[in-house]
A and B are shown apart, each in its own frame.
Chain A
Amino acid sequence: MPESDITILLVDDEEMVLTSIRSFLAIETDYRVRTFTSPVKALQELDHLNIDLVISDYLMPDMDGITFLGKVKEKLPQVPRILLTGYADKENAIKAINDVGLYQYIEKPWNNDDLKLIIRNGLEKTILLKRLEEKIREVERAQNELTEVQKQILRIFA
């Protein structure tokens, strides 16, 4: 899947963080990036955004990042979810990893190379999962066909 077909959703109440990460991804990757300062607004638009990966801040005024990512999980269980945290929230973040099934958390101030790697690995995981699903579907289809053939054969010889 080419990078330009991939959409990343970025949520942080601080516009400056959104700008920093968007700028970095713009010069280093071809991902499409959608940014929101409000997780509530992001949730409203989630259905028609066709998201492949979500990065969210933790402490935000209208909804905290863990709740937000939990809601994203309900709608898009396959999409990797990454939490961006300050030091003080680290403990909470780690506790929440299991609750909402975080793919990773990134500590602020983040390192851009790490960020890029985590995004790439997260996407790879989704892509692999998607491929696996396709394979399973293919196998199922093949098996169904085989069962059908078996039935026909049995019918002929019966």
Chain B
Amino acid sequence: MTDSTRNASEDLTELVEACPFPVVQCDVHGRVLLTNSAFLNLLDILRIPKDQAARILPEGCIAQLESAFQGKGRAFDLKHEIDGRFLEFTFAPIRSKKQVFVTINDRTEQRHTALWMHNYARELEEVNRQMKQAQAHLVQSEKMASLGQLVAGIAHEINTPIGSINSNNDVLIRSVSKMREFFNCPECPEEVRKNPDVVKLMRVLEEINQNNRIACDRIINIIRSLKNFARLDEAERRRVNIHEGLDSSLILVHHQLKNRIEIVKDYGSLPEIECFPNQLNQVFMNLLVNAAQAMPRRGSLTIKTLHVGSEVQVRISDTGVGIPRENLRKIFDPGFTTKGVGVGTGLGLSICYKIIQDHHGRIAVESEVGHGTTFTVTLPVSTSAS
């Protein structure tokens, strides 16, 4: 060995030693020729004995090295995981000597950071989704609360005049009936009783009064349902019979159903359940409206209730268009709608979901395209027991 070559070899050894990252020089059989202390440290970390240093090399690197020698001898990278550490190897073949210069990059920290970032991003996404849902829920409940107040206010204002009209109509019916008695008594002259104008007048009066009575009954029923639906006096948790809520909601969606959709009520015997009635009514209303909209022409709407153990179940089924399988998973997501702008906000079912969740209950959907959809709401009878 000449001086100059020895110097070159010493220089190389020094250079390799000075490298801050692990470096190893091997021959084509994986025999180690030269290492640096960074490499030896790495062996220590991986608990690989120095004399078995070749174990650190990724599988298949020899074969790839062979082909590199046969080809242009280009450097190549390989990734390898040992003992939980992610290592990136760069192989620089030295064709003339049939040796290879390997530098190793320990990517474990980066890998962990990347993984953590990935999880964190997903967590953030989830939090963001929840926030969006909470916001939507808040906006909707705020809207419902002000709508409820408005509705209750209107119902209250209408109550007095309709009470008066209803009573007056009753007085009219009684008066006309007394007039009829008077006309029918023997003292009443024949020409009065049989006078066509009188006969017609009496008939019209009786008909109109009956008509008014039906109209009044309907208004009173609607006002009662509105009051019952909004239940502003019941913003607190209380025990109620959910059939009342279902019936009130049905009356309020009546205009969407009448003469078109057959309603089948299959009510079981239910205990009163502990809940926020105005919130539950909102859920029922939503499901009923959805059912009505799923049946653009004719169809039937079945409301079945049953008591199962410590829970009650409400099943609302329609014979409508059904929900395609790919949409079934998404229907409770906030913002998901198939109804188009101006028809649906995409908030209804996500809010139903939230309300039922708050009640420690469950909401599930089964659907078959072309046959119909069933929503099943399951609620605990008592929240404290669950």
A residues touching B (Cβ–Cβ < 8 Å)? 14, 16-17, 19-21, 23-24, 27-28, 86-88, 90-91, 108-110, 112
Contacts and interface: CB of A to CB of B under 8 A. Distances in A.
Contact of B152 (A17, A88, A109, A112): A88
Given A27-B174, A27-B175, A109-B220, A87 B167 contact: no
A91 B232 CA distance: 12
B210 to A, nearest CB: 16
A108 B161 CA distance: 10
B170 interface: yes
Contacts of A109: 159, 162-163, 166-167, 216, 220
Interface of B: 152, 155-156, 159-164, 166-168, 170-171, 174-175, 178, 216, 220, 224, 227, 232-233
A14 B160 contact: yes
Contacts of A88: 152, 156, 227, 232-233
Given A87-B224, A88-B152, A27 B171 contact: yes
B171 A112 contact: yes
Contacts of A24: 167, 170-171, 174
Contact of A86 (B159, B167, B175): B159
A87 B227 contact: yes
Contacts of B174: 24, 27-28
Nearest to A13: B160
A21 B233 CA distance: 28
Contacts of A16: 160-161, 164
9 contacts: A14-B160, A20-B164, A23-B171, A87-B155, A88-B233, A90-B233, A109-B166, A110-B163, A112-B170
Contacts of A27: 171, 174-175, 178
Contacts of B175: 27
B160 to A, nearest CB: 5
A87 B156 contact: yes
Given A16-B161, A23-B167, A87-B159, 14 more contacts: A16-B160, A17-B160, A20-B164, A20-B171, A24-B170, A24-B174, A27-B171, A87-B156, A87-B227, A88-B152, A108-B159, A108-B160, A109-B162, A109-B167
Given A14-B160, A17-B160, A112 B167 contact: yes
A21 B167 CA distance: 7
Of B171, B174, B232, chain A has the most CB atoms within 10 Å of the CB of B171
A86 B152 CA distance: 11
Contacts of A110: 163, 167
A49 B167 CA distance: 26
B164 A91 contact: no
A88 B227 CA distance: 8
A19 B159 contact: no
A110 B160 CA distance: 10
Contact of A17 (B164, B224, B233): B164
Contacts of A108: 159-160, 163
Contacts of B178: 27
A8 to B, nearest CB: 15
A24 B167 CA distance: 8
B171 A14 contact: no
A151 B159 CA distance: 67
Contacts of A91: 233
